[in-house]
Amino acid sequence: MSADHGVASTKIYFREANVRALREEMRQNPRVLILGQDVGAFGGSYREFDGLYREFGAARVRDTPVAEAASIGIGVGAAASGFRPLVCITYMDFLMLGFDPLINYAAKLRYKTGGLLTAPVVVKTTAGAFGQGVAHSQCLEAWLMSVPGLKVVAPSTPADAYGLMKTALRSDGPVVYIDHKRLFPIPGEVPDAETFIPFGQAVVRKPGSDVTVATHGFMVRIALEAALILEGEGVSAEVIDLRSLAPLDINTVAQSVSKTGALVTLEEGQTTCGVGAEVAARLYECMGMRPWARIGALPAPVSSNPVLEAATIPDAARVVTAIHLLLGQ
């Protein structure tokens, strides 16, 4: 336990942040359930459900067969009937198997019933490259951002993993909660007091004055790494962690860009119709055109080959180069 700015906190891993949020919510509300592959006694592929099966039993922590479409559908149906299920989809790449219940049903349920029914379901999944190949590495969050009625969050710290999960489990509509595989080994301080992080609030991770980098998930760490290099070269980059992609907090980005005058968007997914393209478009809608560079994966699948994987996804060197180019240096 430690005290940062007077707030008592404890250093824990992402998986422990997930467990803590779920344990608190499951103790508080008997209608919170977990469904997914290997979530029971095994404790989840990343041990992100460790101990919950023991405490809450097989009825509330349910192993499912390999059946993503039905698992999401069952979670959604139970949600529409008054429960609050979390459905774990091990890899984001498999989320598309369950798009019908998630996108055609859950995201539209409140709207299509005129407010009569809602689907308070959380679909938890993991994104990102970690040596597992073309169908286990994708960051598809931008696909989800265009669905009316769907909320999308992606933490970059254990504190946000805890606080965003807490909010997700109390949210009245479907939420896709995205962990990043490469964040799992990185611990962080989480407040000891119960905390909710509201959706739609970005946060400045590092203040700066020359350029704004808007990013999310694991790429926040790449942006901070790049900012450190740039600092040594006399360029001050402000790093914004979006945290919540839908709803998107464009005001925090706009405030930053009105100060720095330039925007770099950074994501691990594709740039075409990507998170960055949306951030830039909304920014320009509210404050007019500003210099902008977008960085994301190269337009290729993400191979398990370590050389090709590293060549595909952004690293700090690419970010530094892009910022120099943008600033005309």
Partner 1 sequence: MNSIESLRLMMLIRAFETALAKRPDHGFQLLSSGEEAVAVGLSAALTDKDQLLTGGRSIGPALARGAEPGAVMAELLGRVAGPNRGRGGRGHMADPESGFFGAHAVVGGNISIAAGVALAKQMAGDGGIVAVLFGDGACGAGVLHETLNISACWRLPLLFICNNNQLSVSTARTAALAPAKLSDLGAAFGMWTRTVDGLDVACVAAAATEAAGHVREGRGPAFLECVSVRLLSHSTTARETRSRATLTELRAQCPIRRQVAYLQSSGYLEIAQAEALEREAADRVAEAMAFADASPYPEASEVLDHVG
CB 87 within 8 A of CB 71: yes
The one among 26, 39, 76, 279 contacting partner 1 by CB under 8 A: 76
Find the shortest distance in angstroms from Cβ 17 to partner 1. Answer: 25
Contacting range for partner 1; rule: CB under 8 A; set: 38-46, 112-120, 249-257, 273-281: 112-120
Task: Tell me: does residue 70 bind partner 1 (CB under 8 A).
Answer: yes
Q: Judged by CB, which is closer to partner 1: 14, or 91?
A: 91
Task: Tell me: does residue 146 bind partner 1 (CB under 8 A).
Answer: no
Find the shortest distance in angstroms from Cβ 264 to partner 1. Answer: 29
Contacting range for partner 1; rule: CB under 8 A; set: 111-119, 233-241, 299-307, 315-323: 111-119
Find the shortest distance in angstroms from Cβ 274 to partner 1. Answer: 22
Task: Tell me: does residue 112 bind partner 1 (CB under 8 A).
Answer: yes
The one among 19, 22, 26, 78 contacting partner 1 by CB under 8 A: 78
Task: Tell me: does residue 71 bind partner 1 (CB under 8 A).
Answer: yes
Q: What is the footprint of partner 1 within residues 15-54 (CB under 8 A)?
A: 33
Task: Tell me: does residue 170 bind partner 1 (CB under 8 A).
Answer: no
The one among 2, 8, 111, 272 contacting partner 1 by CB under 8 A: 111
Closest CA to 13 of 157, 216, 169: 157
Find the shortest distance in angstroms from Cβ 253 to partner 1. Answer: 21
The one among 23, 47, 108, 170 contacting partner 1 by CB under 8 A: 108
Q: Residues in the site for partner 1, rule: CB under 8 A?
A: 33, 59, 62, 64-65, 67, 69-83, 85, 100-101, 104-105, 107-108, 110-117, 148-151, 173
